[in-house]
């Protein structure tokens, strides 16, 4: 298994089993999720040049991007729809793994990494929804702060750490912005690289 | 013996690279336009206008923050030419006495009330004050009613 145990060289394995070339086995749902993640990263970086987080500036800067800045509408919509796609594909990916029993040993660790990634992606989706800064996002932020606040002892501190202090009219805060644009994507990317290497490592090679 | 096809796997992949590079080159111009856009909503909401206003004249553009001013028999008023539908800048057509949004064709009458199109709210009127030297200060972030005048 030349090149398959090495973290860098696993991208170019010496050989792949022929069963791994069957598209109908995995439907390439993990690959589609990663493609959506790459699109989200690139368009998200571009949106950061014009987006201003904050109660009063969040929604108005989204409007400016979507309707005034050249090509801003395209970039914003690519980001939005890639996000919607990714939530769908990661859930289907998890269902496929359950259906084909791919969570069983020796892949049990990769299953746990995948579950962690699913939670991260859902939280990325939610923070992105808050950053729109509309009234709906304010209501969503209020609900989220209240739910997290119910955790005994650490609740209010955790809510402050995760969401800052969103108003009822806009969920857009600097805290949510940093989670959405920097912290969560970096953790998700590192876990994904480990996730992909682990597939080869566990002998389940199913490249594109 | 059948003639060997020139479309080898390697040739197809090389062609794919050409396509990827060409597609990337096509995105340069939109990217430059996007990144160099100077639209900034955090600029000061205060607009100073020191040209004389004639009573019952038409809307005058202050050339800043989309603010237009006008004076009628009751006083001075100011309006922000931002469509209340999705925020595009609306254009004033003095010959028709109408405001038209270029994005989704919302039409407003001369007072800024919606006539047709997706917009249902009137164009925002904003607060006007007069400095001691006579110049007008318009606070484009402070909304006022349709019949507010200075």
Residue A152's domain comprises 24-201
Please give the structure tokens belonging to residue A182. 């920097």
Helices (H), A29-154: 29-48, 58-67, 72-99, 108-131, 135-149
Which CATH number goes with the domain that contains B124?
A: 2.102.10.10
Q: Which domain holds residue B74?
A: 46-144
φ/ψ bin of A78: left (φ > 0), alpha (ψ from -120 to 50), beta (otherwise): alpha
How many whole angstroms separate alpha carbon A147 and alpha carbon A143?
6
Return d(Cα B54, Cα B150) in angstroms, integer.
14
Coil vs helix vs strand at B147: coil
Q: Tell me, what's the pLDDT at B149?
A: 87
Between A181 and B66, residue with greater pLDDT: A181
Report how far residue A50's alpha carbon sits from residue B39's, in angstroms, rounded to the nearest whole number: 9
Task: Give a yes or no: residue A194 inside a domain.
Answer: yes
- Beta carbons of A40 and A84 less than 8 angstroms apart: no
Pick the residue of B27, B40, B41 with the most A CBs within 10 A to test the interface with A by mutation.
B41
Q: Which residues of chain B does A68 touch, with a Cβ-Cβ cutoff of 8 Å?
A: 37, 39, 87-89
Of the two residues B80 and A135, the one the predictor is more confident about is B80
Q: Report the pLDDT averaged over residues B17-31.
A: 95
Measure in Å the smallest separation between the Cα of A193 and chain B Cα atoms: 24
- B88 CB within 8 Å of a chain A CB: yes
Whether B138 maps to a domain, the answer reads yes
Confidence of residue A5 (pLDDT cuts 50, 70, 90): low
Note whether A19 and A25 are within 8 A (CB). Answer: yes
Within 10 angstroms of residue B58's Cβ, the number of other Cβ atoms is: 11
Residue whose token pair is 């028999």: B73
Q: What integer pLDDT is reported at residue B25 of this predicted model?
A: 96
Is there a contact between A69 and B34 if contact means CB atoms under 8 Å apart? yes
CB within 8 Å: A72 and B34: yes
Question: Is A8 part of any domain?
Answer: no
Summary count for chain B: helices (H), strands (E): 2, 10
Which pLDDT does position A35 carry in this prediction?
96
Cβ atoms within 10 A of the Cβ of A22, count? 10
Of the listed ranges A127-141, A187-201, B27-41, the one predicted with least confidence: B27-41
Query: How far apart are the C-alpha atoms of B64 and A6, rounded to whole Å?
Result: 60
Residues A127-143 as b or e (16 or more Cβ within 10 Å = b): bbbbbbbbeebbebbbe
Min distance A109 CA to chain B CA atoms (Å): 35
Mean confidence (pLDDT) of chain A? 88
For chain A, what is the domain count? 1
Q: Please choose, from the candidates B45, B53, B56, B17, the residue with its C-alpha nearest in 3D space to the C-alpha of residue B143.
A: B45
The Cα–Cα gap between A151 and A145 comes to 11
Is residue B91 pLDDT above 80, yes or no? Answer: yes
Kindly report the CATH number assigned to the domain that includes residue A101: 1.20.810.10
CA distances from A125 to A63, A104, A164, B98 (A): 19, 28, 17, 42
Give domain status of residue A133, yes or no.
Answer: yes
Window from A126-130, B36-40, B96-100 with minimum mean pLDDT: B36-40
pLDDT at residue A204 in the model? 66
Give which of B39, B88, B106 to mutate to test A binding, by max A Cβ within 10 Å.
B39
Q: Is the pLDDT of residue B75 over 80?
A: yes
A75 touches chain B (CB under 8 A): yes
* Cross-strand partners of B89: B82
Q: How far is it, in rounded angstroms, from Cα A27 to Cα A24?
A: 5
Tokens found for residue A116: 């962690």
| In the block, residue with structure tokens 């912005």 | A177
Arithmetic mean of pLDDT, A4-15: 72
The Cα A160–Cα A150 span in angstroms is 13
pLDDT bracket for residue A38 (50, 70, 90): very high
Q: Give chain B's mean pLDDT.
A: 87
By residue count, chain A amounts to 208
* Residue A96 in contact with partner chain B when CB distance is under 8 A: no
B14 part of a folded domain: no
Identify the pLDDT of residue A207: 41
Rounded Cα–Cα distance for residues B82 and A34 (Å): 39
Could you tell me if B31 lies within 8 Å of chain A, comparing CB atoms?
Answer: yes
Express each pLDDT in B117-135 by its tens digit. Answer: 888 889 999 989 888 888 8
Rounded to an integer, the average pLDDT of A110-135 is: 95
Residue B2 has pLDDT above 70, yes or no: no
Q: Answer whether residue A207 is part of any domain.
A: no
- The larger pLDDT score, comparing residue A20 to residue A77, is at A77
Q: Cα–Cα distances in Å, from B111 out to B13, B70, B139?
A: 61, 10, 19
* 3-class SS of residue B75: strand
Residue B88: which of A49, A60, A68 has the nearest Cβ? A68
A79-94 pLDDT tens trace: 999 999 999 999 999 9
Number of domains in chain B: 1
Per-residue pLDDT band for B40 (boundaries 50, 70, 90) equals: low
Residue B121's alpha-carbon distances to A14, B78, B110, B116, B125, in angstroms, are 65, 16, 14, 11, 11
Chain A residues closer than 8 Å to B16 by CB: none
Residue B104 lies in a domain: yes
Q: To 5 degrees, how large is the angle CA A96–CA A97–CA A101?
A: 115
* pLDDT band, residue B44 (cuts 50/70/90): low
Counting every residue written for chain B, the total comes to 150
Among A38, A68, A74, A132, most B C-beta atoms within 10 A, so best to mutate, is A68
Distance CA A24, CA A58 (A): 43
DSSP 8-state code for residue B144: E
Q: What's the pLDDT band for A15 if we cut at 50, 70, 90?
A: confident
């Amino acid at each position: 298994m030349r090149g398959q145990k090495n973290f860098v060289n696993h991208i170019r394995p010496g050989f792949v089993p022929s069963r791994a070339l069957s598209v109908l086995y995995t439907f390439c749902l993990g690959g589609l999720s990663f493609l959506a993640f790459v699109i989200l990263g690139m368009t998200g970086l571009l949106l950061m040049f014009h987006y201003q987080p904050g109660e009063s500036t969040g929604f108005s800067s989204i409007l400016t991007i979507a309707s005034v800045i050249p090509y801003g509408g395209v970039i914003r919509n690519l980001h939005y729809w890639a996000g919607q796609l990714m939530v769908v594909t990661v859930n289907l990916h998890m269902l496929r793994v359950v259906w084909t029993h791919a969570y069983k040993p020796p892949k049990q660790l990769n299953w746990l990494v995948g579950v962690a990634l699913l939670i991260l992606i859902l939280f990325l989706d939610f923070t992105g929804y808050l950053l729109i800064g509309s009234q709906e996002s304010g209501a969503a932020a209020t609900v989220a702060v209240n739910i997290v606040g119910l955790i005994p002892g650490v609740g209010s501190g955790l809510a402050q750490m995760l969401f800052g202090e969103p108003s009822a009219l806009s969920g857009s805060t600097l805290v949510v912005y940093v989670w959405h644009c920097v912290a969560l994507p970096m953790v998700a990317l590192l876990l994904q690289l480990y996730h992909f290497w682990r597939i080869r490592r566990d002998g389940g090679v199913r490249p594109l | 013996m059948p003639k060997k096809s020139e479309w080898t796997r390697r040739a197809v992949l090389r062609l794919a690279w050409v396509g990827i590079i060409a597609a990337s080159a096509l995105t340069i111009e939109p990217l430059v336009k996007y990144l160099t856009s100077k639209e900034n909503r955090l600029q000061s909401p205060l607009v100073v206008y020191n040209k004389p206003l004639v009573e019952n004249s038409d809307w005058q553009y202050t050339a800043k923050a989309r603010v237009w001013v006008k004076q009628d028999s009751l006083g001075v008023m100011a309006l922000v030419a931002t469509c209340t539908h999705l925020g595009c800048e609306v254009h004033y057509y003095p010959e028709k006495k109408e405001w038209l949004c270029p994005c989704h064709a919302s039409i407003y009458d001369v007072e800024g009330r919606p006539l047709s199109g997706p917009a249902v709210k009137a164009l925002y009127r904003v607060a006007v004050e007069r400095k001691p030297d006579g110049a007008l200060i318009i606070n484009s972030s402070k909304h006022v009613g349709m019949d507010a005048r200075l």
